[in-house]
Structures are given as C-alpha cells and as structure tokens.
Amino acid sequence: MGLFQKAVETYDAMVKDHAGDYKEGQKEPLAPIGHIIANAKIQITINQNGEFQAAIRNEDRIIIPATIESANRTSGIGAHPLCETIAYISPNDQKKHQSYITQLSAWEESEFSHPMLKPILSYVNSGTIIDDLEEANLIKNEKDLVCWCVNGIGSESGNCWKNKNLMKAFQDYYIPQIEKKYDFCMISGGEKKLLCTTHIKGIVSHFGNAKLISSNDNKNYTYRGRFTDDQQACTVSYESSQKAHNALKWLIANEGVVYGGRTFLCWNPNGKNIPKPRNSILFKNDKPAKTPTDYKEQLKDAIAGWKKELPAREWVIIAVFDAPAKKSGRLSINYYNELMGSDFLDRLKYWDETCCWYHYQGISSPTLRQIASYAFGTLRSKGEKTSVEIDDKVLGQQIQRLLMCRVDKALFPFDIFQALIQKASNLQIYESNDREKLLFITCAVIKKYKYDHYKETIEMSLESDRKDRSYQYGRLVAILEKIEKDTYKADEKRESNIIRRLSTFIKTPLKVSADIMTQLKSAYYPQLSSPSRTFYDKLIGEIMEIIDQLGDKDNPLSETYIIGYYLQQKELYKSNKNNTNNTEEQNNAQ
C-alpha cells in the first residue's frame, strides 16, 4: 500500500493549490474527488435560457464530474452527470439519452444544484444538438465529448470545467448517494470509512482501461482460492481511492516519462523540485568540466543546490508502471521505492561520480537512455546518415534495470557492460558522431563496472606507464590510427587500417600490430615530416617496452584497451592542436 499512501499524501498536500486549477505548463490539471480528466472535443455555448449561441472545436484535457459507474464504463450504459458524448446528449439513442437526462435532472433538482445546470438541461431537452453541430460544421463522431459554457448567469458564467463552485456542488450532491458500505480502509487506516468497490481506470492514459485495483475474479478459480469475496483481499475507502488515483493520474501526466511502453515516475509528495534519476544531477546551465577535479566540484555544488530544494527528511518516490494487455486488464507496478531526500541525492551523486567520462567539451555522465540504446540498439542507415535505434520494449526493460541499479546502488549489470564492449570493438561501422558517443558511454560504463565490482579506480587522464597490457595496446591503436590519418587530405574520410582490423587486433594484437606497422612504414611514414616520425617512433617504442616487460603472449585483450585508446587519442589531438597554435604564434611574431 506504500504507493497509494504516498499518492494520498500528495493529493492532500497539493489539493489546496492545484485541485481544479489549470496551471500553465501542465499537461493535465489535478481532478478533485468525484471528478475525472477527459478529452473534450466540442465546446457548446448557451445563454441563461438554454438557447444555443455557438459551438467550437475543443482539444483540451478537462475536469468533468463522474459517478463510480460512469468513470469505469466500457461497453455498458452509464452517463456522466454533466459533460458527455454526443451519443448521450442527442436523443438518437434513447437508452443513453435517458441515462444522461436522469443523471443531470436529479442533480439539478437537488439542494446542491448550480446555476449552470438548468440552462444545460433545458438545452438538452430541446433536442437540437445534432442540427446545431451540423450547422457549425462540427459533428464528426458520436463519441466526441461535449463540454459546456454558460453565459448570462452572473458571476457563475463561463466554462463549466473551470468552475470550482460547480465541482464542490457535485461532491456535496453525489458522495452521500454512494452505497453505504463501511469498513477499515487499508490506505488511510483509522476509523471505518465509506468503501469503494470499483476504482478509477486509465491512470496511465496510453494503457486505456487498465487498473491498479480491480476485483473481477468471481468465476471459476475465485480469487485464486484464497478468499471468498473481494473485500477479504482489500478494502479501500472511496475518499482514499479518489485521492490516490487522481493524484497518480496527475503526476503521471505531468511528470511521467514513457520508455518502451513503461511509464517512469519520480516525485516528492510535497511538490519539492527533485532531479530526475534518468539524467545527471548537474544543472543544465553548468558549463562542462574540463578536468576530473572540476567535475567533482561541480557535483558537490549541484548536490548542495539540490539539498536546498529538497530537505533531507523529505520523501522521494520512484515507480514504474506497465500493463501486459496495454488497453485493459491489470496495471502492474514493475518497480517501487521510497527514499529519504538525502539518500536519494547521495545515490544519484555516487552514480554520476563513478559513471562518467569525457564527452565533447567536458566530463559528464551518460543518460540511462544513452547507455541502453548504445548497448542494445542497432545501427540503421537513413540516406547518407546513420543512427542507433532500439526496440521500444527492450528500451523500457533496460532503462528500468539501469534505474534500479542507480537508485538502489546495485552493481552494474555484466550483460550491459559486455554489450557495450562488443559494440566498441566494431568502431568502423559507426560515423564520427555515433562513434564519439559510443566511446564516451563505453568508457564511462567500464569505469563504473570496475569500481562497482572490484573497487578499481580508472583514471580519466592518460597513464603512460600503466602496467596493463590491454591499456598499452589501446594506446598503440590510437597512435597507429593517427599516423595514417596525418597523411589524409582535408576531405578524405577513409577508415584507417587499424580500425578496420580492430576486431581481429583484439584477438591477436601482437601479430596485427606488426602487420600494420610494416604497412605504415612502407606507405605512410615517407609522407610524414621528420619530427613527426621521430615523435611517433618514440611513443611506440615506449609502449612496446612496457608490453615486453609484461610478457606479451599475443592473447586477446581485455576491455581496458578502449580506455587506453580513448585517452591516447585525446592526448594526441590535444598535442596536435597545441603544435598548430604554437606554429601560428611563431608565424604571427615574424
């Protein structure tokens, strides 16, 4: 019941400032008790006498009154009390129309009536809605939902879905009519309360009729053989059900993110601003850190900033929703966690500290989507460009695994680590932009995996004397690639020989590097300047000396070759840039 209790807490904290209000920037408003959110398609404006004035197209998500039956209807008949579809408002289908008239009339005749109700009832009884909509060129589908605007009734004039007095009037009218069943509420506890046996559907809009709470297992293997009726399994009050479901629907609509059909939600019950666990905790306006020291300072400052937004004793709730049938049946909670604000922030910081690398202009942590996409995605060609695409279902599954790893501070999964290593061993198939992203993500994950499993720290600066055979061979790859590319013309995009043979090189590095060196000496060295040849020979000699000391047996390389390759490549291009700048300064001085 943790999710529902936190949802009720959220509703109670947000009801005063949000229930019934349409806030700028929000996709949906928070519905009060006794109301649901619906897609309005048509807005009809009438006067105080119920006379038609105008009809326009409406594409808003609005708050409408709803009974327990109407909020959960599928194929049966059960009218909403105010805003309804054309099929219910027009007299064409007498059963549906009578259901609507009965609901609206009962409310209008009660002591909790509202000035809007009489004009609307009068207009509906006139039976002219189809003609009016046809004249306005609006009638398209009998399933289109109609909402009302009533003029000429003083201060209560305007749109029905924004009138809080109307919302309150329906609550006062409807709640006392609910069947009187009282029992212990498993969400709120305390004294016995008015029970709810049918709960709101579709809190995740793209899952249609799927519910979090339902009890329709009353035939065959009744309640899985454990109970004789639904109330033995769970009793929830109407008030708690309405609060919890409306709060979750509001949160999911405005804060939820969908990956592969799964809905990911992270929030604070009191509405405090929190970082999203799928991305880095750094603020978007932070300039990329150039050094590991600067990056650590950035994380420290970011955490200090977030702690001002989110006090240590505030709760953070993380949940993932899915539905096997998508449109109907059960809505499952695939993952759920409650963390104190301080723990939540510390865990995000730990991930960003241990899973980070150089990327373009500075150091950052890859997003969970980037890791999943490049680990399990497929390279697709789109004209002259390529992009990495991943199956939606796989994306949702893998992001959930990574989210659990980050939030629960669990060990990084081996299969994701291994998948990225394999992808990075085929660099030749990637264009420069995707190659840079792949290397950034893979190096960050290697750093993360090594620390999680072995408490080994991978430095983000080149360690020329590192006693790691694979690391040194990775450095060699970067140098052999740079030697060949130094001879290319400005517009030449041909792949270097060492990158084309990378997958073979990883298996037998000594043999392949010797073959490549022979080729470079005969075909490319003559095109280099004497200082460049000396520079590269010196680097290669230093690397081979370390490899010889380690006793090279031409065995396959481990993943650290990628780290050595990346850092040596970065160092080479930095040296090349510095040399270019020095030459320009000398020419300007002359």
CB 388 within 8 A of CB 379: yes
* Distance set, CA 296 to CA 33, 266, 299, 588 (Å): 47, 25, 5, 39
Ramachandran angles phi, psi of 316, nearest 5°: -125, 130
Dihedral angle sign, alpha carbons of residues 517, 522, 525, 530: positive
| CA-closest candidate to residue 200, choices 373, 73, 41 | 73
Residue 136 token pair:
């306005």
* Distance set, CA 11 to CA 239, 272, 346, 377 (Å): 11, 14, 27, 39
Sorted by where each begins, the domain ranges of the chain are 1-22+179-250, 31-177, 272-314+347-453, 469-589
Please list the pLDDT of the chain residue by residue as tens digits (590 residues): 589 999 999 999 999 999 999 999 899 999 999 999 999 999 999 999 999 999 999 988 999 999 988 988 877 899 999 999 999 999 999 999 999 999 999 999 999 999 999 999 999 999 999 999 999 999 879 999 999 999 999 999 999 999 999 999 999 999 998 877 777 777 787 777 777 777 778 788 777 678 887 655 555 554 555 555 555 557 788 888 899 999 999 999 999 999 988 999 999 999 999 999 999 999 777 788 999 999 999 999 999 999 999 999 999 999 999 987 655 667 889 999 999 999 999 999 999 999 999 988 899 999 999 999 999 999 888 777 888 999 999 999 999 999 999 999 999 999 999 999 999 999 999 988 899 999 999 999 999 999 999 999 999 999 999 999 999 999 999 999 999 999 999 888 899 999 999 999 999 999 999 999 999 999 999 999 999 999 999 999 999 999 999 987 889 999 999 999 999 999 998 866 555 444 343 333 33
Tally of residues, the chain: 590
